A and B are shown apart, each in its own frame.
Chain A
Amino acid sequence: MQKRSIVPIVYILFLMLPIYWLVAMSFKTTNEILAGFSLFPQTFTLENYRTIFTDPTWYWGYINSILYVSINTVISVAVALPAAYAFSRYRFLGDKQLFFWLLTNRMAPAAVFALPFFQLYSAVGLFDTHLAVALAHCLFNIPLAVWILEGFMGGVPKELDETAYVDGYSFPRFFVVIFIPAIKAGVGVAAFFCFMFSWVELLLAKTLTAVAAKPIAATMTKTASSAGYELGLLAAAGTLTIIPGAIVIWFVRNYIAKGFAMGRV
């Protein structure tokens, strides 16, 4: 038992090394970084973080990202819930084909859609809004949410539905009061995955925004090219992009472990 735990420890160390390096760099001055190799920051500085928190073009990047990711997560889970219920409880014309078609949208390379998306969202007047990015990310997040939720709903016995109807529940009331609480782990996991894939995606988010809704990741690439190699500042911005993800995963940590088991296993 003791010997076995070496494997996960080594693996986690391997995962943490590049992250450590990013964090260490964020506390160094750009001069120190370029001057040569040092394992720990020699002249510890918070200057990089101060720049980000005082310059609106930087901190608005974070606010923009969090806004469209939140909108996307809410929309994706809200529309996926009834659809997943339909797939898990009923047979209807074209159900299998529809399910597969939904999944195919996860297979479309974002690079394929970049230009048409720009034209589409410009045409409907949503270009450079948070809603545009949130809606565009639905392309891959809704199919995933339907897939995850359908798996969790399959684990809930049908008797639950039938008992509720016998007790005189209407469908909407049953769905909200009984069914959703019964699969709340699944809702948590689905929301987590939607958050994750929307947070990490850049190509579409960058294509659909210019100034008003520009994501933090795009602010980083623009700075990299305009201000030369500001490595310390980039490292600090990168470090800050890890934090929202870390917070979200801490909330669902128990759902991740137990939650997956309630799904398709």
Chain B
Amino acid sequence: MKTENQKAWLFVLPVLALVAFNALIPMMTVVNYSVQETFGDNVFFWQGLDWFQQILRSERFHDALGRQFLFTFLILVIEVPLGIAIALSMPRKGFWVPVCLVLMALPMLIPWNVVGAMWNIFTLPDIGLLGYALNHVLGINYDMTQDPVAAWVTIVTMDVWHWTSLVVLLSYAGLVSIPDAYYQAAKIDGASNWAVFRFIQLPKMKTVLTIAILLRFMDSFNIYTEPFVLTGGGPGNSTTLLSIDLVKIALGQFDLGPAAAMSLIYFAITLLVSWLFYTLMTKDDLN
């Protein structure tokens, strides 16, 4: 279908230049730091791959990585089915459609630190709406600054609140593109609701769901600001996700070498998992 044309490179050049400026130069700086040791004053010593070995063996990194995978796993398992379910139950046309879509998209347009701050004041035990309701109306002892489980429930709920709408919007876009004739044919065949979902709706949503899952994976795996503002990684280290730990090492302790090595390992993991997702979800389309 597509024609071979090497001049197309000219069209891509501005994008290439801008992204390369922002991606390659900082990346080279990170690579540079990752193999050196510094004691300040811009004096550097060659360190080889020591930092990489140190990070890969450190328990702290394993713990943060474990927490990160748990967080991303919970996010995907909750947000993707929930988003599809909500999209399925939405009206297909009429006055309420744009109203629904605008209200649903609203959380995604709030700056990330405001999201964290907002959930912070929402969950304060004595003066926040949720915290007050849980503690004084339902009688559940809830304080996320003390209890790691409560902190986890809160950051996961916050992310579900923040990002489920992305899955809803994309799934919904897939659903409205299905012609009515498909549903009429299914009705004539006497197909069950499940069959309609499995053989008509799901295949039509596949492409948009691939995008949704990839975006949710990347963004939840790289999440920093919201949980940092909400819990600061605590209580203890219980909600210290990878990015939070990385910033602690890089800007808190100013250990540039280990932080850079950790950045590269982190990036490599994100890349690898994204590639796996992408390959698995698109392998049928290649033929």
**Interface positions of A (Cβ within 8 A of B):** 4-8, 11-12, 14-22, 25, 33-34, 36-37, 39, 75, 79-80, 82-83, 85-87, 89-93, 95, 98, 102-117, 119-120, 135-136, 138-139, 142-143, 146-147, 158, 196, 199-203, 216-217, 220-221, 224, 231, 234-235, 238, 241-242, 244-246, 248-250, 253-254, 256-261, 263-265
Contact = CB atoms under 8 A, between A and B. Distances in A.
A107 B176 contact: no
B204 A238 contact: no
Contacts of A136: 22
Query: Interface residues of B: mostly helix, strand, loop or mixed?
Result: helix
A15 B103 contact: yes
A220 B113 contact: yes
Given A17-B122, A37-B127, A109-B243, 6 more contacts: A18-B129, A36-B126, A111-B250, A200-B108, A245-B110, A260-B172
Contacts, number: 275
Nearest to B219: A106
Interface residues of B, number: 93
Contacts of B136: 37
B225 A202 contact: yes
Interface string B214-238: 0100100110110000000000000
B22 A139 contact: yes
B26 A117 contact: yes
B39 interface: no
A221 B7 CA distance: 48
A16 B36 CA distance: 49
Interface of B: 1-9, 11-12, 14-16, 18-19, 21-23, 25-27, 29-30, 85-86, 89-91, 97-98, 100-114, 117-119, 121-122, 126-130, 132, 136, 161, 164-165, 168-170, 172-174, 176-177, 204-205, 207-208, 211, 215, 218, 221-222, 224-225, 242-243, 246-247, 250-251, 256, 263, 266-267, 270-271, 274
Most interface-central of A8, A34, A111, A235 (chain B CB within 10 A): A111
Nearest to B82: A11
6 contacts: A15-B165, A82-B14, A86-B11, A108-B270, A111-B222, A261-B173
Nearest to B17: A79
Contact of B109 (A95, A200, A221): A200
Contact of B251 (A90, A107, A114, A220): A114
Contact of B19 (A33, A105, A201): A105
Nearest to A22: B118
Contacts of B91: 5
B26 A12 contact: no
A86 B15 CA distance: 11
Contacts of A115: 29, 250-251, 256
Nearest to A229: B121
